[in-house]
Amino acid sequence: GRAYEVEITDGGKRKRIIILPEHLQRVGG
């Protein structure tokens, strides 16, 4: 599947997290 790369800022620090569609389905369902 396709992985989504999201960049977030935590306390002024940049963090890159990779989210898989499978994880989204788990949260949604």
Confidence (pLDDT) at 27 = 64
Please list, in sequence order, all residues whose beta carbon lies within 8 angstroms of the beta carbon of residue 9, skipping any fewer than 6 positions away.
Answer: 15
Tokens encoding 5: 């790369």
11 sits in the region (left: phi over 0; alpha: psi -120 to 50; else beta) called left
For residues 3-10, average pLDDT: 90
- Residue-wise pLDDT for 7-28, tens only, equals 999 899 999 998 887 767 766 5
CA 5 to chain centre: 6
Full-model pTM: 0.41
Confidence (pLDDT) at 7 = 94
